[in-house]
Amino acid sequence: MKNIIVTGGAGFIGTNFVRQWLQTENTSVIVMDKLTYAGNYDSLAELEKDARFTFYHADICDKSAVENAFRSFHPQAVVHFAAESHVDRSIDGPETFVKTNVVGTFQLLEGARHFHKTLSGAEKDSFRFIHVSTDEVFGSLGSTGKFTETTPYDPRSPYSASKAASDHFARAYFHTYHLPVLLTNCSNNYGPYQFPEKLIPLIILNCLEGKPLPIYGDGMNVRDWIFVEDHCSAIRAVLKNGTPGNSYNIGGNCEKPNIEIVKTICRLVDEMKPDLKHGPCESLITYVKDRPGHDRRYAMNNAKIEKELGWTPSINFETGLRRTVLWYLEHTEWCERITSGVYQRQRLGTLE
C-alpha cells in the first residue's frame, strides 16, 4: 500500500491506530478529521515531522470534501473510525449521532464507491474499506454467552442504533456495489488519548482532583475490555488479510463489572500518588441513578478472527490499566487542554 485515509484519526482509537501504523508500516497516512470536541490535534502534532503524515481537516458529512479526499490522495484503503460514540450524549442529543454515524458513513461509502469504479487491475483488487463499529449494536447479553458475528442486531440507545444503521449501509455497499468493505465490531477500549468523558479516564482524573467517582446503578454492568493497541493491531490484521464482505468481532477476553474497574483505578492512583490529601480514592465512589437503556453485559467471541487471521489480544488488563493510569498522570496538561477546548481554538485556524 502507498497510502491510506484514516477518518477520525485525531480521536482516541484513531490516534493510537495512526501512531501504530506509522511505527510498523512503510505507508503514508492521511488523517481526515473534523476536530470536534473529542478530536484532538495535539495527539498528532508530533507526527508532523514524519513525511508520511498528512492532516486533512474535513467533515465526513461534507460530500465535496469526501470527493476531494479520494481525488487528491488516491488511497488504497480507508479505515473509518470517525463517529460520535458517547452513549450519554446520544441520549441527550441523538440528531448529531444520526448525522455523523449514518449520513457521514454514507458519504464515505459513496465517495469510495465512485473512486473504486475508477480503479483497475491490482489497484482495484487491493482496495479496502474498513468500517469500525462496536459491540453495542448487538444489545445486551444475559449472564452467559458471547456475541458472535451472526448475533442478531438489537441496539438499545441512539448511539448503538446509529452505529447499527451504518453497519447495515456498509454491508449493503458490499452486496449491491461490490465495494470491498470489511466490518469490525469491538468491545470497550481503554488506553492513552481517550477523551475524559469515558469511564476509565474520567475516574482517573476525578481521583486526582478529589471529585466524586460516579457509578451508574449498582456498578455491576459488565463490559469486555481491550487495550487500544490490541484493537489497532486487530484492525491492521483485518485490513491486510480479512475477506471483503466479512465482519470480525474483536474483544479483549476480559470481562469486568464497572465497580471493579473503578476500585482498581483507585488502588493504582493511591499507589502512584500517595500524597493526595483526599485519599484513599475509594472514599470518593458515589452511586448515581442508572442511565436509560443501560445494557447489562457485553462480551465478544473472538474465535473467527483468531482462526482466520491469527490475531489474539496480547496485553493483559493489569498491564494495560497500569500503563493507562500512568499515562494520564504524566499527561495532565493534555487533559486540561482537551477538556477546556483550548486546542480547538488554537489549531482550527491553522488547519482550514
Is 159 annotated in the active site? yes
209 assigned to active site:
no
The one catalytic residue among 59, 84, 135, 295: 135
Catalytic residue among 41, 159, 190, 248: 159
Whether 177 is catalytic is no
Identify the sign of the CA torsion 249, 253, 258, 263: negative
Asked if 135 contacts 187 with a C-beta cutoff of 8 angstroms, the reply is yes
Query: Which positions ≥6 away from 69 have C-beta within 8 Å?
Result: 5, 30, 32, 56, 58, 75, 111
> What would the grid cell of residue 260 be?
471493579
H, E, C per residue of 260-317: HHHHHHHHHHHHHCCCCCCCCHHHHEEEECCCCCCCCECCECCHHHHHHHCCCCCCCH
Specify the pairing of strand 77-80 against strand 222-227: unpaired
Return the CA Rg of the chain: 20
Q: Which amino acid appears at position 147 of this protein?
A: F
136, 167, 229, 295: which one is catalytic? 136
Active site residues: 135-136, 159
